[in-house]
C-alpha cells in the first residue's frame, strides 16, 4: 500500500507539491500588498479586482450586520437560517440579473457543486467547456449525468454534442464561464446562446471573473453583451470582485425552487451569516455605483498599461504568462518572489499538463510604478 509520505514525495518530484503560504500581516491596509515571511510583497495574485475586501464602507456594513444579527446563522437556510438580509441580497441579484429569482450559497464552490448536481441527474447530459472551473466539474460528477466535454470555445464540437444529446429524453445542460479563471479570456457567449437555443438545451454561465469587470454597471459579460435574459442560469461568486464571500445563481422561479429542494450543499450546510449577506449586498450596490465605475476604469487602465508593454492582449484582469513546465513556472515564480513580487505558478491539475504559467492578476489599486517593477523583473528573467 502506498503511504501518504510516498505520495507526497512523488508530488515533490513532479514539482506539483503545494503548500500553504501564510500571509503574516497583523493588519491589511490594501489588497495589493501582502506580508510574506516578514517581507512586504506586491500582490499580483488577488481576485479582489476592485479592492473591495478592504473598503471602509463594506467593513462598516459587516460590523453593522454583526451588531444586528450576530456572527452566525445557527441553522441551515431551510430551517431558521434565512434572514431578511439574505432575502434582500437575493431580491437585488434577481432584479439586476433580470430574473424571477436568485439564491445565494456560502461560497461559489458550494453554488456550483449544489446547483449543477440539482439541475441534472442520471439520464441527463452535461456539456462542459474543457476549461470550466473545478467546482463545475465536481458538480457535474456528483450529478450522475453523462458528461461530455468540448474544446475551449470549440463551437463545432459543441454543436455535434448538442445534436447528439437532444435525441435523448433527458435534460441537456451546457456549462461555461464568462471569463475563464486561468486564461482570462472570454466565452463565445452569443454564439453559444444561439446554439443552445437551436437545440433546446439549458445554459449555465459562471460569471466568477466577469462580475465587477464587465458591463456599464459591472454586472458581468452578460450585461456587456446585453444577453442576461437569454441565459437560463446565471451564476457567480461574491468573493472576488465583490470582495466578500458567497455565491449566487439567478434564474426562473421553478429552477430556483428545484435547487432549494435538491442542492445538498445548500440543504445540509449552515446558512452563511446574515452579516455576510448584508455586506455582499452593500458590495453589489457599490459595484453598480459611480464609485464602482471609477474603480473599473482604473482597473482597465492598469490592464491596458501592462498588456501594451507585454505586447499581448487581455480580455480581463487575469493575464497569464506562459512558461511551459511546472519546474520552470516554479523557478520563475520563486525568483520574482525574491524580488518582492507575488505571481503564483499555476500548475497541473489546475491547468492542463505542460501549460504551466504565472497567473498575473491586476487590481484597480495597483500603482503604475508597481506594474513597471513587475515588467522590469520579467524582462530580466526572460533574457
Ligand X SMILES: *Cc1c(COP(=O)(O)O)cnc(C)c1O
Catalytic residues: 47, 133, 177, 181, 206, 209, 240
Q: Of 108 and 199, which has the nearer Cβ to ligand X?
A: 108
Q: Does 165 bind ligand X (CB under 6 A)?
A: no
Residue showing the smallest CB distance to ligand X in the complex: 108
The residues in 290-329 that bind ligand X, with binding defined as CB under 6 A, are none
Q: How many other C-beta atoms are found inside a 10 Å radius of the C-beta of residue 349?
A: 8
Spatial contact of 319 and 362, defined as CB atoms under 8 Å apart:
yes
Q: Which of 48, 177, 223, 365 contacts ligand X by CB under 6 A?
A: 177
| CA–CA dist 244, 89 (Å, integer) | 13
Per-residue DSSP letter, 272:
P
Q: Which residues of 100-114 are buried (b: 16+ CB within 10 A; e: fewer)?
A: ebbbbbbbbbbbbbb
DSSP SS3 for 349: coil
- The CB-of-238 to ligand X minimum distance in angstroms stands at 7
Beta bridge partners of 175: 128, 204
- Residue 107 CA, chain-centre distance (Å), reads 10
| CA–CA dist 117, 361 (Å, integer) | 31
Q: Of 81 and 247, which has the nearer Cβ to ligand X?
A: 247
Q: Which of 135, 316, 326, 333 contacts ligand X by CB under 6 A?
A: 135
Per-residue DSSP letter, 35:
E
The residues in 206-235 that bind ligand X, with binding defined as CB under 6 A, are 206, 208-209
- The CB-of-311 to ligand X minimum distance in angstroms stands at 27
| CA–CA dist 234, 177 (Å, integer) | 10
Q: Which of 107, 228, 276, 343 contacts ligand X by CB under 6 A?
A: 107
Spatial contact of 221 and 177, defined as CB atoms under 8 Å apart:
no
Q: Which of 114, 215, 247, 344 contacts ligand X by CB under 6 A?
A: 247
Q: Does 182 bind ligand X (CB under 6 A)?
A: no
- The CB-of-65 to ligand X minimum distance in angstroms stands at 18
- The CB-of-335 to ligand X minimum distance in angstroms stands at 27
- The CB-of-150 to ligand X minimum distance in angstroms stands at 17
- For residue 360, report the phi and psi dihedrals to the nearest 5 degrees: -95, 125
Q: Of 55 and 377, which has the nearer Cβ to ligand X?
A: 55
Beta bridge partners of 126: 147, 173
Residues that bind ligand X (CB under 6 A): 107-109, 112, 133, 135, 177, 181, 206, 208-209, 237, 239, 247
Amino acid at each position: 500500500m502506498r503511504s501518504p509520505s510516498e505520495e507526497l514525495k512523488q508530488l515533490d518530484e513532479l514539482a506539483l507539491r503545494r503548500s500553504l503560504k501564510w500571509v503574516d500581516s497583523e493588519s491589511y491596509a490594501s489588497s495589493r500588498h501582502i506580508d510574506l515571511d516578514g517581507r512586504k510583497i506586491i500582490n499580483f495574485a488577488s481576485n479582489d479586482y476592485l479592492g473591495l475586501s478592504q473598503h471602509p464602507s463594506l467593513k462598516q456594513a459587516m460590523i453593522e450586520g454583526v451588531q444586528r444579527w450576530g456572527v452566525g446563522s445557527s441553522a441551515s437556510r431551510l430551517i431558521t437560517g434565512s434572514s431578511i438580509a439574505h432575502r434582500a441580497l437575493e431580491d437585488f441579484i434577481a432584479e439586476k440579473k433580470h430574473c424571477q429569482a436568485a439564491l445565494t450559497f456560502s461560497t461559489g464552490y458550494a453554488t456550483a457543486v449544489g446547483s449543477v448536481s440539482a439541475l441534472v441527474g442520471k439520464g441527463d447530459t452535461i456539456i462542459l467547456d474543457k476549461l470550466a472551473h473545478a467546482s463545475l466539474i465536481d458538480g457535474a460528477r456528483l450529478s450522475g449525468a453523462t458528461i461530455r466535454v468540448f474544446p475551449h470555445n470549440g463551437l463545432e464540437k459543441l454543436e455535434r454534442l448538442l445534436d447528439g444529446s437532444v435525441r435523448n429524453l433527458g435534460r441537456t445542460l451546457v456549462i461555461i464561464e464568462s471569463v475563464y479563471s486561468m486564461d482570462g479570456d472570454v466565452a463565445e457567449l452569443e454564439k453559444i446562446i444561439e446554439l443552445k437555443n437551436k437545440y433546446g438545451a439549458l445554459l449555465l454561465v459562471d460569471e466568477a471573473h466577469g462580475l465587477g469587470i464587465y458591463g456599464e454597471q459591472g454586472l458581468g459579460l452578460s450585461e456587456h453583451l446585453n444577453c442576461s435574459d437569454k441565459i437560463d442560469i446565471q451564476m457567480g461568486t461574491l468573493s472576488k470582485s465583490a470582495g466578500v464571500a458567497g455565491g449566487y445563481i439567478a434564474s426562473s422561479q421553478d429552477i430556483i425552487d428545484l435547487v432549494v429542494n435538491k442542492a445538498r450543499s445548500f440543504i445540509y450546510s449552515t446558512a452563511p451569516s446574515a452579516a455576510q449577506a448584508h455586506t455582499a449586498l452593500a458590495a453589489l450596490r457599490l459595484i453598480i455605483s459611480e464609485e464602482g465605475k471609477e474603480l473599473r476604469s482604473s482597473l482597465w487602465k492598469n490592464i491596458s498599461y501592462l498588456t501594451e508593454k507585454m505586447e499581448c492582449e487581455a480580455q480581463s484582469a487575469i493575464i497569464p504568462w506562459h512558461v511551459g513546465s511546472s519546474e520552470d513556472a516554479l523557478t520563475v515564480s520563486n525568483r520574482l518572489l525574491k524580488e518582492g513580487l507575488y505571481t503564483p505558478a499555476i500548475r497541473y491539475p489546475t491547468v492542463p499538463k505542460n501549460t504551466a504559467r504565472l497567473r498575473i492578476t491586476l487590481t484597480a489599486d495597483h500603482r503604475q510604478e508597481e506594474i513597471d517593477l513587475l515588467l522590469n523583473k520579467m524582462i530580466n528573467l526572460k533574457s
